[in-house]
Amino acid sequence: MKTREIAELVGGDLSGDPKVEIVRVADIATAGDGDVAFYEKMDEGFSSNASCLLVPQDSSASNGTLIKVENPKLAFARVAAFLHPQKHRLTEIHPTAVISDSAKIGQDVFIGAFVCVGDSSVIGDGCQMRAGAKVGDNVTLGKNCLLHPNVFVEDGCTLGSSVILHTGVVIGADGFGYVRGENEYVKFPQIGTVVIEDNVEIGSNTCVDRGALGETRIGEGTKIDNLVQIAHNVQIGKRVVIAAQTGISGSTVIEDDCVIGGQVGMGDHARVQSGAVIGSQAGVLPGKIVRRGVWWGTPVQPLDEYKRQNAHMKSLSRLKDEVRRLASLIERIKKDRKS
Amino acid sequence: MKTREIAELVGGDLSGDPKVEIVRVADIATAGDGDVAFYEKMDEGFSSNASCLLVPQDSSASNGTLIKVENPKLAFARVAAFLHPQKHRLTEIHPTAVISDSAKIGQDVFIGAFVCVGDSSVIGDGCQMRAGAKVGDNVTLGKNCLLHPNVFVEDGCTLGSSVILHTGVVIGADGFGYVRGENEYVKFPQIGTVVIEDNVEIGSNTCVDRGALGETRIGEGTKIDNLVQIAHNVQIGKRVVIAAQTGISGSTVIEDDCVIGGQVGMGDHARVQSGAVIGSQAGVLPGKIVRRGVWWGTPVQPLDEYKRQNAHMKSLSRLKDEVRRLASLIERIKKDRKS
Amino acid sequence: MKTREIAELVGGDLSGDPKVEIVRVADIATAGDGDVAFYEKMDEGFSSNASCLLVPQDSSASNGTLIKVENPKLAFARVAAFLHPQKHRLTEIHPTAVISDSAKIGQDVFIGAFVCVGDSSVIGDGCQMRAGAKVGDNVTLGKNCLLHPNVFVEDGCTLGSSVILHTGVVIGADGFGYVRGENEYVKFPQIGTVVIEDNVEIGSNTCVDRGALGETRIGEGTKIDNLVQIAHNVQIGKRVVIAAQTGISGSTVIEDDCVIGGQVGMGDHARVQSGAVIGSQAGVLPGKIVRRGVWWGTPVQPLDEYKRQNAHMKSLSRLKDEVRRLASLIERIKKDRKS
């Protein structure tokens, strides 16, 4: 890919040699010959060895081959998608795969070793199911889904197109619901389903439980990290980002365009409104409504309140000293008045 | 199932048509023809479209087909178990399964594709091992256990009857124990075992480590959610409920009938006494004894203390203002006295 | 193994019968005939039924067969390694394994059922890949690695020698990085790799993501527990210990000889300096530098500060009372002065 083609791809403004051959993306610190790198802040006056740099519009850099763009990191990601496309696996159904006669397998599908596809399931065109991935019965995968090794999708769940499930993801296992009987817990029915919309990506060993009665849903373009727990009947909107090890309890709703940090815990039946940002390790109480804005702490509170409270706590020692000082002043006043 | 039969099953008091055909359970909001639903509070004067409603004894509802019961949710769960029994898999040993000659496989067993059963292991009558589930050597499964896909049970572990292990559960891996040597960590022996009693259910990707020297034990009827960590030598009693992503360190004891929220962390050698309830994200220090009652926070404290302390923290700003006011009052008094 | 041989192995001082046959290690409370046990504190005047006891140098015990050593627990671990060596699996390549023609398999290797080895991967001498373990293309395993069932190592990752990966571990999946575009998240390239050095052990269902552009590295002799999340480009030093369910965000550095508790969360680009100890459930903010010493809480602070602050918080109620008392004293003084 020539630098000129890169500039066209990202709609950028090229200065320098338009014919440099670029073969890979690289970190600006280690980039060298044939590499394209980026920086985000105009004052990072890097003397990088990259053959081409994606830089912000207001960058004052002038030496080397530069492409000025509005969002260099985004441009870099788009170039990377071209230079390093997802691994292409040739169309194949591995002889060890166990595929139900009633399953429908689309065109240009890769099915690896030890894959299982259950009864009446549909695998869309261009899907890749890597070694050991399994789908149960009546599962539907849209087009171009990528199931990494050992993924499991339980009976009756539905995936849209271009969904990526990383290794060990479990979709559609029973939710965690019991009713206390006299001397035992009786399982509450977990007979709903999971719907995952287009362009969702879910990290390794994350679990998305099926709805108890209705459905658990993950909206279009949402990205979920590793080891996340999504309980039954949770509704996650579009373009939500959820970092690793966060847990979301039953029936909680996260609206579009929220950003949730890592190790956040949410109680059941909470609602996170569109545009809310929740910091790592925060705790959202059951039923709580979290409005647009930045939130932090347990129980969750607006970031500036959290910071203020934290500052207060840090100054508790001084406050105590001050109270002690006042007490002794008052003692003195009282004594003086008596004398 | 006729409404009359449902009333009999749950020991309820039927009013309305005893012959309505009920085919499934449903959420009260979406229920329709052929559905049974429930509500719990007598004043939820729902006009549901369900063909039959399970309602509390003191409900004033009168129209439609109603069944009055003491605990509608429990009754609903029992009806669901009848109308939606666990999927029945026909007796089968899939030709791809790898089963040791010395293993003993009971009657009416389902063994799916790519299952492994190691030497001298015993699979009880009625067990189901789904695709990719694996048990090592000398493992014993009681009757009617259900191992979902990709479960692994390590050598020497023992499961009672009707144990359910969801996808990706790991039972009996080495515990996390090392002794610091001069310039390395030496592995402390992890040669104990895991015993899981009857009617235990364990969620997806949860890990239960084997005892270092003795055993890790999970008591009868206990229910554990997804992504939970149970360390070596932990002893969990009967009918304990543990929500997702909680972690329990080595040798900690949880007695019968405790309820543990999600993302709780417990240090080693703690003891949670029978009937204790621990809120989500709480932290139990090593060696701590947690008594009956409701607990919250890190370090864990009784819920009302936690709430009081939280309220105090919320009012810190006002407290500071008050101290400042007192200080200026005193200043004034001192000045006045001098003048 | 005779008691004399044990004394030699651990460099200890034997008193009592040098010819007792020892066949296993055991907990001191349950140890019996043929068992060796240990205790650590000289005043644990145990009357154990163990055939041999490893005791501290300053122990006053005198009856039975004793071996005095500097570090009884360490000695015990070393004896255990002899008496209970890791399970030896005979050299075998299971006929169900799917191994690329271009892979290189070393000597004395065990490859179990349903194992996959991708193109150009190298499996070192003495490695064991248990049932369902999978490595992608261009993966290198050093000597004597042990991959437990269902482990997955993604394309291009490198393991040193004697690495142990427990069941369900995922090495080298894509890191979690996206760039927000106008109406979507665009994947930031995740094309780096993972390097795991010698003698690392990683617990069940833990995830170690590949570097975005560079590498994620785990240093020699480091031990990681179950369900831990290691994000892209994290650098972990040598002999680091990380307990269960901890999460470490992108590009964070943990230097040698740190000890990290369970459920700790670390933001990105933090640095934990050599010798730091971080308590369970602590939170390290992005970019934070954590110095040598013991740290606790969220945000993380030195343990003694944390304790002091906790004590202050506990005494908030008293502080409020005191402020109220001072306020009424001042009121009284003002009133007296007016009268």
* Residues of A with Cβ-Cβ distance to B280 under 8 angstroms: 265, 267, 283
Which among B148, B221, B223 has the least Cβ separation from residue A173?
B148
Question: Is-catalytic flag, B166?
Answer: no
Tokens of A164: 């990526």
Q: What angle do CA C163, A204, B217 make, to 5 degrees?
A: 70
Number of CB pairs < 8 Å for A and B?
A: 171
What is the pairing mode between strands C293-296 and C301-302? antiparallel
CB contact under 8 A, B320 and A312: yes
* Residues of A with Cβ-Cβ distance to B263 under 8 angstroms: 247, 263, 265
Name the closest residue on chain A to residue B113, using Cα atoms: A98
With CA atoms as reference, report the closest residue to B241 among B263, B216, B260, B262. B260
With CA atoms as reference, report the closest residue to A113 among B311, B231, C114. C114
**Residue C156 to residues C119, C141, C210, C214, Cα–Cα distance (Å):** 10, 11, 9, 12
Which among A84, A232, A269, A312 is annotated as catalytic? A232
Nearest 5°: phi and psi at B188?
-75, 140
CB contact under 8 A, B132 and A154: no
Statement: residue A168 has pLDDT above 60: yes
Only one residue has tokens 């170039």, namely: A79
H/E segment holding residue C316: helix C316-338
Mutate to test the interface with B, among C23, C280, C320, C335 (most CBs of B within 10 A): C280
CA distance A80 to A83: 5
* Residues of C with Cβ-Cβ distance to B214 under 8 angstroms: 27, 30
Residue A244 Cα to chain centre, angstroms:
8
With CA atoms as reference, report the closest residue to B35 among B65, B78, B8. B65
Q: Is A201 helix (H, G, I), strand (E, B) or coil?
A: strand
CB contact under 8 A, B201 and A187: yes
Which among B27, B150, B281 has the least Cβ separation from residue A298?
B281
With CA atoms as reference, report the closest residue to B43 among B60, B63, B19. B60
Number of CB pairs < 8 Å for A and C?
A: 169
CB contact under 8 A, A241 and C185: yes
**How many angstroms separate the CA of residue A317 from the nearest CA in chain C?**
7
Looking at the whole model, is its pTM more than 0.90? yes
CA distance B268 to A73: 45
Which among B26, B81, B245 has the least Cβ separation from residue A229?
B245
**How many angstroms separate the CA of residue C177 from the nearest CA in chain A?**
9
With CA atoms as reference, report the closest residue to C6 among C89, C62, C65. C65
Nearest 5°: phi and psi at B223?
-125, 125
**How many angstroms separate the CA of residue A278 from the nearest CA in chain C?**
14
Which among A181, A183, A267 has the least Cβ separation from residue B280?
A267
With CA atoms as reference, report the closest residue to C56 among C42, C74, C66, C73. C42
The pLDDT of residue B41: 76
CB contact under 8 A, C27 and B265: no
The pLDDT of residue B46: 62
What rounded mean pLDDT belongs to chain A?
Answer: 95
CA distance A339 to A314: 40
What is the pairing mode between strands A241-242 and A223-224? parallel
Nearest 5°: phi and psi at A9?
-55, -40
With CA atoms as reference, report the closest residue to A258 among A286, A287, A233, A282. A282
The pLDDT of residue B189: 96
Statement: residue B188 has pLDDT above 70: yes
On whether the CB atoms of residues C205 and B152 are closer than 8 A, the answer is no
Digitized pLDDT (tens) for each residue of chain C, 339 residues in all: 999 999 999 999 999 999 999 999 999 989 999 999 998 875 555 678 999 999 998 887 777 899 999 999 999 999 999 999 989 899 999 999 999 999 999 999 999 999 999 999 999 999 999 999 999 999 999 999 999 999 999 999 999 999 999 999 999 999 999 999 989 999 999 999 999 999 999 999 999 999 999 999 999 999 999 999 999 999 999 999 999 999 999 999 999 999 999 999 999 999 999 999 999 999 999 999 999 999 999 999 999 999 998 888 888 889 999 999 998 888 888 888 776
H/E segment holding residue B266: strand B265-266
**Residue B35 to residues A210, B23, B38, B247, Cα–Cα distance (Å):** 20, 6, 10, 39
CB contact under 8 A, A263 and C267: no
Region B305-319: mean pLDDT is: 89
* Residues of C with Cβ-Cβ distance to A84 under 8 angstroms: 189, 191
**How many angstroms separate the CA of residue B188 from the nearest CA in chain C?**
5
What is the pairing mode between strands A158-159 and A193-196? parallel
CB contact under 8 A, A191 and B84: yes
The pLDDT of residue B333: 85
CA distance B73 to B85: 17
With CA atoms as reference, report the closest residue to B177 among B228, B271, B285, B249. B249
* Residues of C with Cβ-Cβ distance to B235 under 8 angstroms: none
Mutate to test the interface with B, among A100, A174, A284, A318 (most CBs of B within 10 A): A174
Q: Is A2 helix (H, G, I), strand (E, B) or coil?
A: strand
Give all chains having 3 or more CB-to-CB distances under 8 Å with chain C: A, B
CA distance B169 to C167: 9
CB contact under 8 A, A116 and B94: no
CB atoms closer than 10 angstroms to residue B58 = 9
H/E segment holding residue C302: strand C301-302
Which among B77, B149, B280 has the least Cβ separation from residue A187?
B77
CA distance B304 to B298: 14
The pLDDT of residue C45: 53
CA distance B144 to B123: 9
**How many angstroms separate the CA of residue B316 from the nearest CA in chain A?**
7
CB contact under 8 A, A30 and C214: yes
CB contact under 8 A, A314 and C309: yes
On whether the CB atoms of residues A188 and A178 are closer than 8 A, the answer is yes
* Residues of A with Cβ-Cβ distance to C283 under 8 angstroms: 280-281
Per-domain boundaries in chain B: 3-83, 92-303, 311-338
**How many angstroms separate the CA of residue C199 from the nearest CA in chain B?**
9
Q: Which residue pairs, CB below 8 angstroms and at least 24 apart, start in A278-287?
A: A279/A303, A280/A243, A280/C265, A280/C267, A280/C283, A281/C265, A281/C283, A281/C298, A283/B280, A283/B281, A284/A252, A286/A249
CA distance B287 to B293: 18
The pLDDT of residue C47: 72
Q: Is B297 helix (H, G, I), strand (E, B) or coil?
A: coil
Region A314-324: mean pLDDT is: 89
CB contact under 8 A, A189 and B87: no
On whether the CB atoms of residues A115 and A97 are closer than 8 A, the answer is yes
CA distance B2 to C86: 59
Could you check whether B3-83 and B92-303 share the same CATH topology?
no
| Tens-place pLDDT, residues A203-220 | 999 999 999 999 999 999
Which stretch of A276-290, B45-59, B180-194, B288-302 has the lowest confidence by average pLDDT?
B45-59
Name the closest residue on chain A to residue C180, using Cα atoms: A74
The pLDDT of residue A60: 79
| Tens-place pLDDT, residues B254-293 | 999 999 999 999 999 999 999 999 999 999 999 999 999 9
* Residues of B with Cβ-Cβ distance to A319 under 8 angstroms: 319-320, 323
CA distance A55 to A158: 41
Tokens of A63: 């030496």
Q: Is B257 left (phi over 0), alpha (psi -120 to 50) or beta?
A: left
What is the pairing mode between strands A13-15 and A66-69? antiparallel
* Residues of B with Cβ-Cβ distance to C204 under 8 angstroms: 170, 173, 207, 209
The pLDDT of residue B44: 58
Write down the ipTM of this complex.
0.95
CB contact under 8 A, B132 and A155: no
Statement: residue A61 has pLDDT above 80: no
H/E segment holding residue C254: strand C253-254
CB atoms closer than 10 angstroms to residue C63 = 9
* Residues of B with Cβ-Cβ distance to A134 under 8 angstroms: 131-132, 149-150
Give all chains having 3 or more CB-to-CB distances under 8 Å with chain A: B, C
CA distance A132 to A126: 18
CB contact under 8 A, A98 and B84: no
* Residues of B with Cβ-Cβ distance to A333 under 8 angstroms: 330, 333-334, 337
Domain boundaries A92-303, CATH class: mainly beta
Considering the domain delimited by C3-83, tell me its CATH architecture: 3-Layer(aba) Sandwich (3.40)
**Residue C234 to residues A40, A297, B51, C128, C216, Cα–Cα distance (Å):** 21, 25, 57, 27, 5
What is the pairing mode between strands B13-15 and B66-69? antiparallel
**How many angstroms separate the CA of residue A305 from the nearest CA in chain B?**
9
CB contact under 8 A, B245 and A231: no
Which among B94, B166, B232, B312 is annotated as catalytic? B232
